Structure 1
Amino acid sequence: MRLLLTSAGISNPSIEGALVDLLGKPIAESSALCIPTAGYGSSFGPVGPWRFIRGADLGWRSVGVLELTALPSIDQERWVQWVREADVLLVNGGDVMYLNHWMRTSGLADLLPSLPELVYLGFSAGSLVLTPRVGAEFLDGKPLTGDDRALGTVDFSIFPHLDHPDLPENTMAAAERWAAGIAAPAYAIDDDTAIKVVAGTVEVVSEGHWKYFTPVS
């Protein structure tokens, strides 16, 4: 997979340019699948997924919806083909550990490593779910898996929505405390920052502010 991990999706021209670079073609020639699942585990309820789907159309050639909780009841060959035919997955924010549970249970987590050309665009929890650990600060409730470990697709953790005006608790000082608890490589990113990962190479794309935390041995 080619990853673009964000707090808030395509929020500025630099992040949009990074997405087009990962796709290797214009957005208008690309097909997208929206994954709204994490939103159902959050306090926003069904409003959150609807807002995500409505706002996800950037002018794609086609847009579909892949609801992970439905996949166990669908023939696997059918939905796997849908994913293989997509150029990009747009993965919603919400409850990261709820998303983690359903990515594993549905089988999507096992499929993704076999799709090197697929672009994965994470929004908030959709980004955090690929990290090794989330941190207690971003657990909306008791995790279905029992702890804060996520998929570990990348080797760093993410503190999203840094200094967001509607999230006064998401300060740099809070990010530093969170990073000390993670005790592993980590980034704090605001809504104008993305982390681009291709073949293990990490690049920060930003028109805002961010910080990398080196683990203390």
Structure 2
Amino acid sequence: MGTVKLLLTSGGVTNPSIHEALVDLLGKPVEESTALCIPTAQWGHPSCGPVSARGFVAGLPPWGGMTSMPWRSLGLLELTALTTIGEDRWVPWVREADVLLVDGGEATFLCHWMRESGLAALLPSMTDTVWVGVSAGSMVMTPRIGADFVHWPGAPDDRTLGVVDFSIFPHLDVFPDNTMADAEKWAEEISGPAYVLDDQSAIRVVDGVADVVSEGRWRRLPDDGPH
């Protein structure tokens, strides 16, 4: 079964290699592509809020620069609003977009609203669309995120969509609790294949085949050694 093409990043489109991977997935330049940005995950995380959400939407540092790239057009899609406006309105918006830029925050909250809105059910038919996730926007595609990353009180557990068969530990060495030692402990709980990514690294997934795009540090667990 096909699905949306994935570029699962830790920190966004942060270097030329990740940018090249994005253009390759799009099949055309950014300047010829239409994008929708999705800030929804931010509302579920206690460290996020109106200022960081606006920073993502506007493409301001330090919240990444994906929305400040020279897209042919750029719109905003807020998943929490979709259940109240009807699929006849929002589904065409999604289908007409070349790429969805999905911000970080709380992955279980994002997962909840992807299911509630109907966007998750739409993914298998979106074979021409590129999904670019940042942090939780990438983690939502995995089977589990691990208890350490669950910060939404409404989450029943750490499970997410399971579109891919591996988990992601993002922001290696960006935060005090995101060391490689922390990642190793986390991976023991996950008990499945996982990637540890710094903010210069991403995973590209096309037709179920994953490969790492990186100008930084990453590691696959169970251990295949650091890169």
**TM-score, with length taken from structure 1:** 0.96
The residue that corresponds to 2:63 in the other structure is none
Q: CA deviation at 1:118?
A: 0.3
Instruction: Write the deviation string for residues 140-190 of structure 1: whole angstroms up to 9, x where unpaired.
Output: 132x341000000000000000011xx111000110110111000100000
Pick the aligned partner of 2:167 from 157, 160, 182.
157
Counterpart of 2:51? Answer: 47
Aligned to 1:198: 206
Is the Cα–Cα contact under 8 Å of residues 109 and 152 in structure 2 kept in the other structure? no
Match of 2:19 in 1: 16
Q: CA deviation at 1:8?
A: 1.0
Structure 2 residue aligned with 1:86: 97
Displacement of 1:41: 1.5
| Structure 1 position 40, deviation (Å) | 1.3
Distance apart, 1:57 and its partner CA: 2.3
Unaligned regions of 5+ residues in structure 2, if any? 60-66
Identity of aligned residues (%): 60
User: 2: CA distance between counterparts of 1:169 and 1:87?
Assistant: 35
- In 2, are the aligned partners of 1:57 and 1:63 still within 8 Å (CA)? no
Residue type at the aligned position of 1:168: P
> How many equivalent residue pairs?
212
CA contact (8 A) 2:41 2:105 kept: yes
* Aligned residues: CA RMSD: 1.0
- For residue 170 of structure 1, the aligned residue among 159, 178, 198 is 178
Q: What's 1:31 paired with? A: 34
Structure 1 unaligned blocks of 5 or more: none
Equivalent runs, 1:80-159 vs 2, <5 Å: 80-142=91-153, 144-159=154-169
TM-score, normalization: structure 2? 0.91
